[in-house]
């Protein structure tokens, strides 16, 4: 058996990486914590295929809250969700074929009071009642009207009452600034429509804002890809916290761990153990799921540049199926 330096293994793959083999087959490989895609739409994909391709947990950022509420809280994949998209009347994604009416709430009143028809707080309260872990707001100025500042403020305040972070889809000029000013806890996408001022990025980092990556959705659009890559690099250099997310369900993306997303994150500066950190962060949950692990068959990656492609071979296995090597 070839020698693998445990210090190198940790630098490449994080503190919890361990050499192991599967009890049933004897196959050797590397054990890692469960991997999470922080931006999916379950109603648009075949979720049964996620585990075979390495994804043990997801954050659903726009779906039918009544359907999502019926899921077991510890299933496979383990799901955290926003429930419906909150948007302006006629705003994105209302009316899209992939966003049925049950997945969208068009807010007609900035009211912070509960029980107001079309009210901002009412929409937040509804998602909370259905077990949402985050609130999703669409600020897509390139695709229609967006919630005004009063509405946005009321949404964030109502979400705070429930202890729920707000995730904003910011698209179009000035939308990221509005999301930062309003106190959004996370962005659903790395901003891709404008190169952001350093001052704004520093403010987002200081506020602890998380950016869900979704770089690979721009693989056929060189301009968006370049802007998003530059923004994420600047965000990371300023100390920002990125989360791995693909917007799975949006167009033709591979089900499971997406090698293109990993490669783009690596190029933006998130490498090795830090890349693993973006994949294994349980946010918005506090705890990792128990009982499942990631298994990548074969030898560990030879160096840090080999990590993205190597990780694409990940699969989800019951933790009890893995026997750790003595010096892993």
* 187's tokens: 């962005």
* Shortest distance in whole angstroms from residue 29 CB to Zn ion: 32
* Shortest distance in whole angstroms from residue 247 CB to Zn ion: 4
* 30's tokens: 């590397």
Task: Please answer whether residues 116 and 173 qualify as being in contact, where contact means their C-beta atoms are separated by less than 8 angstroms.
Answer: no
Which residue's CB is nearer to Zn ion, number 37 or number 247? 247
Annotate each residue in 197-236 with x if it binds Zn ion (CB under 5 A) or - if it does not, as one string.
----------------------------------------
Cis omega (within 30 of 0) for bond into 284: yes
- List strands edge to edge, sheet with 210-212: 104-106, 85-87, 135-140, 166-171, 186-187, 210-212, 241-243
Task: Please answer whether residues 184 and 137 qualify as being in contact, where contact means their C-beta atoms are separated by less than 8 angstroms.
Answer: yes
- In the block, tokens 């109603």 appear at 43
Which residue's CB is nearer to Zn ion, number 247 or number 261? 247
Which residue's CB is nearer to Zn ion, number 155 or number 168? 168
* Shortest distance in whole angstroms from residue 272 CB to Zn ion: 27
**Other CB atoms within 10 A of residue 90 CB:** 10
Which residue's CB is nearer to Zn ion, number 135 or number 307? 135
Which residue's CB is nearer to Zn ion, number 142 or number 305? 142
* Shortest distance in whole angstroms from residue 31 CB to Zn ion: 30
Q: Does 281 bind Zn ion (CB under 5 A)?
A: no
Residue of closest CB approach to Zn ion: 247
CA atoms within 13 A on the CB side of 4: 25
* Shortest distance in whole angstroms from residue 230 CB to Zn ion: 22
* Shortest distance in whole angstroms from residue 191 CB to Zn ion: 14
* Shortest distance in whole angstroms from residue 81 CB to Zn ion: 12
What are the start-end ranges of the E strands in the chain?
A: 18-22, 28-32, 35-40, 55-60, 78-81, 85-87, 104-106, 135-140, 166-171, 186-187, 210-212, 241-243, 292-297, 315-318, 322-324
Which residue's CB is nearer to Zn ion, number 171 or number 247? 247
* Shortest distance in whole angstroms from residue 316 CB to Zn ion: 22
**319, 322, 326, 328: CA torsion to nearest 10:** -70
Window 233 to 262, contacts with Zn ion (CB under 5 A): 247
Binding footprint of Zn ion, residue count (CB under 5 A): 1
Which residue's CB is nearer to Zn ion, number 193 or number 293? 193
CA distance 282 to 155: 24
* 36's tokens: 């999470």
Which residue's CB is nearer to Zn ion, number 98 or number 198? 98
Task: Please answer whether residues 312 and 11 qualify as being in contact, where contact means their C-beta atoms are separated by less than 8 angstroms.
Answer: no
Residues in contact with Zn ion by CB under 5 A are 247
């Amino acid at each position: 058996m070839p020698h693998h330096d445990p210090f190198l293994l940790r630098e490449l793959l994080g503190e919890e990486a361990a050499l192991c083999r599967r009890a049933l087959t004897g196959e050797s490989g590397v054990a890692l914590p469960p991997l999470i895609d922080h931006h999916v739409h379950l109603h648009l994909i075949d979720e049964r295929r996620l585990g075979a391709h390495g994804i043990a947990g997801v954050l659903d950022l726009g779906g039918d809250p009544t359907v999502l509420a019926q899921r077991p809280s510890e299933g496979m994949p383990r799901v955290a969700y926003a429930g419906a998209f909150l948007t302006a009347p006629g705003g994105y994604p209302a009316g899209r074929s992939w966003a049925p009416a049950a997945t969208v709430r068009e807010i007609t009143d900035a009211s912070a009071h509960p029980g107001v028809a079309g009210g901002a707080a009412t929409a937040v309260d509804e998602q909370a009642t259905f077990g949402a872990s985050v609130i999703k707001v669409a600020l897509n100025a390139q695709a229609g009207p967006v919630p005004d500042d009063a509405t946005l403020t009321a949404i964030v305040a109502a979400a705070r009452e429930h202890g729920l972070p707000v995730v904003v889809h910011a698209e179009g000029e000035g939308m990221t600034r509005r999301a930062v000013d309003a106190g959004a806890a996370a962005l659903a996408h790395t901003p891709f429509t404008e190169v952001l001022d350093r001052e704004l990025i520093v403010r987002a980092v200081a506020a602890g804002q998380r950016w869900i990556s979704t770089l690979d959705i721009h693989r056929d659009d060189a301009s968006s890809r370049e802007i998003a890559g530059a923004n994420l690099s600047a965000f990371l250099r300023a100390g920002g916290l990125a989360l791995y997310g693909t917007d799975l369900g949006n167009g033709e993306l591979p089900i499971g761990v997406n090698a293109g997303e990993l490669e783009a994150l690596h190029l933006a500066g998130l490498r090795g153990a830090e890349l693993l950190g973006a994949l294994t962060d349980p946010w918005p949950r506090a705890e990792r799921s128990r009982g499942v692990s990631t298994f990548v068959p074969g030898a560990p990656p030879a160096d840090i540049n080999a990590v993205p492609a190597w990780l694409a071979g990940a699969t989800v296995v019951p933790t009890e199926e893995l026997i750790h090597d003595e010096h892993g």
